[in-house]
A and B are shown apart, each in its own frame.
Chain A
Amino acid sequence: MSLDPRRATAVQLAAAYRSGEVTALATTTALLDAIEHEEAHLSAWLHLRRDAALGEASAADARFTAARGNTAALAALPPLLGVPIALKDLVNLEGTPTTSGSKILEGYISPYDATIAARLRAAGAVILGKTNMDEFAMGSSTEFSAYKRTTNPWDLDRIPGGSSGGSAAAVAAFQAPLSIGTDTGGSIRQPASLTGIVGMKPTYGRVSRYGIVAFASSLDQVGPFARTAQDAALLLHAIGGRDTHDATSSAEPLPAELLALPSGDAAATALKGRRFALPKEYFVAGMEPGVERAVRAAVASLEAAGATIEEVSLPTTEHALATYYIVAPAEASANLARYDGIRYGASKHGGGDLLQGYLETRGRGFGPEVRRRIMLGTYALSAGYYDAYYVKAQQVRTLIARDFDRVWAAGFDAIVAPTSPQVAWRFGAKMSDPVSMYLADACTIPANMAGLPGVSIPCGLSEGLPVGAQLIGRPWSESQLLGIASGFEAITATAEWRSVEPTALARAANGGAA
């Protein structure tokens, strides 16, 4: 067997399943074994579905076996059939726990499927389990999980980014080829950048939010993590498209190109003549020199491949962070009001007084960052402050969107920028200072405020740690963005940094031996 089930991409697995080279059961077994072996060091998972996943893998294998020898029948099978995947623990999956990283949902078993969970089931994907995250997706390091501290497979003393840190770490550590994250202010792109993988936030409305535990409704988007652009495109195709359960999901047709994203020379050639905008405001003060070097090198290689790069200005960028930290907490303060210990979740009701039941359930059930944001949001919406904060922020949001509109009007294909001003930091480095933590999202937040698609792709290393470059596109341009990402993979295929893999996890899991 030549295909390493841990390193195989979804595209490779799909081909191997069809040829009979490997089975979904063997692949799933290998990944589950690895996860169980390494979990003490990576801590990426909150819930594993070992038996259910093996059952799904066997069912997939049965379908491959039945179709074997019949080219048309094989081709008709869904591309993700038998492909293992991890879900961030805010995706409801009927019959399994959903904690959203919070104690307040400890013991909660979902009675229904999120739309994307139902679509993944229908696509025949093998759902391995649920991954760790910052509580209610609030955080940039996964340190705010109420359950465990996920490590970065590149350096176990460092954070994997957040809030989708578990999903990113699992894919980076070769525990799954694909995973699902959510991105409200950068929670897919930033951990993708910090763990050296591909992570995409689609256009707002591209993927249904039904069944995804809400953080900030006008910003939340579900998206894929993968190790290649092609894999990310396959996963986006499986989960995207109009859903009648989500009034904000778009009727915009899902591009078929996602199923056949160009790679190799074809993708590299397609970079020729592309026009990229380089926003000067994204190269912020405090950006690590190694990060800037890697991103500028990526820009240079795009130029070398025949693309043109022009510097642009997005002047409202400096206000995006403050805008985000009003809008997101305001929406969150309402979205999290349902956690009252009455219908579900950890409850402190039962003493004498109803009000006390509310106060204790919520005061004790939520962790410090969630409490902080509920307080911020409640304050920003409260009588006398609404106009100064909430309305003002929504107006500035309009200005942020206009900045981007000007770039598209000027004919650019995409914006290229750093994803994160820093590489993965050490545990605890920002825990005592919320503002420094918030600054980590400075480059990702504007795309959320404007609803635009963005993808983070690995573009190099800084002091041995991954650096991500971000591509931001016009609405509904996911297939073009992923096509560009695929082209970048092709033109950097032989770059030295591409040959470096994270080894810290393997060393630790194998008893510290190199």
Chain B
Amino acid sequence: MSELSRADVERVAALARLGLNPDEVGTLQGDLNLILEQWAHLASVDTSSVSPSAQAIVQPMPLRDDTPEASLPVEAALGNAPARVGDFVKVQAILTEEADG
């Protein structure tokens, strides 16, 4: 794996929606490269015939019956919202559309 450039760090920070100041970008670039160097030996592990495990102990997945239960009272649901208009949560105007549902 090649080293992360400053631009790489900025790209990843943008993907993760982390606003970083220039100093923080530099520090993270150093940290991440140091850590990635520690990961390099993984590439040498032979995993050609090994299936990946997303979970270590796989349980049969229980399914929920389609029976409604009480929702939260609106005040409990919105009690922590930083900005509200009535019973809506408010954010700044959204001018562009994001991907589908």
Contacts and interface: CB of A to CB of B under 8 A. Distances in A.
A397 B56 CA distance: 8
B36 to A, nearest CB: 8
A244 B69 CA distance: 13
B82 A345 contact: yes
B14 to A, nearest CB: 8
A389 interface: yes
Interface residues of A, number: 77
Contact of A395 (B8, B19, B50, B61): B50
A352 B38 contact: no
Residue among B28, B62, B72, B89 with max Cβ neighbours from chain A (10 Å): B62
Nearest to A404: B56
A434 interface: yes
A354 B35 contact: no
Interface string A361-392: 01110100001101110110010000011011
B15 to A, nearest CB: 5
A343 B19 contact: no
Nearest to B42: A322
A108 interface: yes
Nearest to B72: A111
A111 B77 contact: yes
Nearest to A366: B18
Nearest to B52: A394
Nearest to A356: B19
B51 A371 contact: no
B93 interface: yes
A244 B15 CA distance: 34
Contacts of A109: 79-80
Contacts of B15: 378, 382
B45 interface: yes
A387 to B, nearest CB: 10
A244 B35 CA distance: 38
B45 A203 contact: no
B16 A353 contact: no
B43 interface: yes
B94 interface: yes
Given A342-B82, A379-B4, A398-B51, A450 B16 contact: no
Interface string A78-114: 0000000000000000000000000000011101100
B85 interface: no
A395 B52 contact: yes
Interface string B19-38: 11000100010011011001
Contacts of A198: none
A503 to B, nearest CB: 38
B12 interface: yes
A375 B92 contact: no
Given A204-B56, A378-B12, A398-B52, A323 B42 contact: yes
**SS of B interface (majority):** loop
A399 B12 CA distance: 29
Nearest to A434: B31
B99 interface: no
A375 B43 CA distance: 20
Given A111-B76, A362-B17, A394 B56 contact: no
Contacts of B79: 109, 111
A204 B57 contact: yes
A509 to B, nearest CB: 35
Given A319-B41, A343-B89, A366-B18, A108 B80 contact: yes
Residue among B28, B32, B57 with max Cβ neighbours from chain A (10 Å): B57
Interface string B57-101: 101111010000000100011111111000001011111000000
B81 to A, nearest CB: 6
B42 A319 contact: yes
A354 B91 contact: yes
Contact of A475 (B55, B57, B62): B57
Given A322-B41, A345-B80, A218 B35 contact: no
A396 interface: yes
A218 B55 contact: yes
Given A374-B18, A396-B42, A435-B35, A250 B80 contact: no
A343 B81 contact: yes
Residue among B9, B12, B54 with max Cβ neighbours from chain A (10 Å): B12
A347 B4 CA distance: 30
B92 A371 contact: no
Contact of A244 (B56, B64, B83): B64
A399 B47 contact: yes
Contacts of A401: 53, 56
A204 B56 CA distance: 8
A392 B80 contact: no
A375 B64 contact: no
A480 interface: no
Interface of A: 107-109, 111-112, 203-205, 218, 244, 247-251, 316, 318-319, 321-323, 325-326, 333, 337, 340-347, 349-360, 362-364, 366, 371-372, 374-376, 378-379, 382, 388-389, 391-399, 401, 434-435, 438, 449-452, 475
21 contacts: A218-B56, A244-B64, A248-B55, A250-B57, A319-B41, A326-B42, A349-B83, A352-B92, A360-B19, A362-B16, A375-B16, A378-B12, A378-B16, A382-B12, A388-B43, A394-B54, A396-B42, A396-B50, A399-B47, A401-B53, A451-B56
Interface of B: 1, 4, 8-9, 12-13, 15-20, 24, 28, 31-32, 34-35, 38-39, 41-43, 45, 47, 50-57, 59-62, 64, 72, 76-83, 89, 91-95
The 8 closest A-B pairs by CB, nearest first: A363-B19, A359-B19, A451-B56, A394-B52, A344-B80, A395-B47, A347-B82, A451-B57
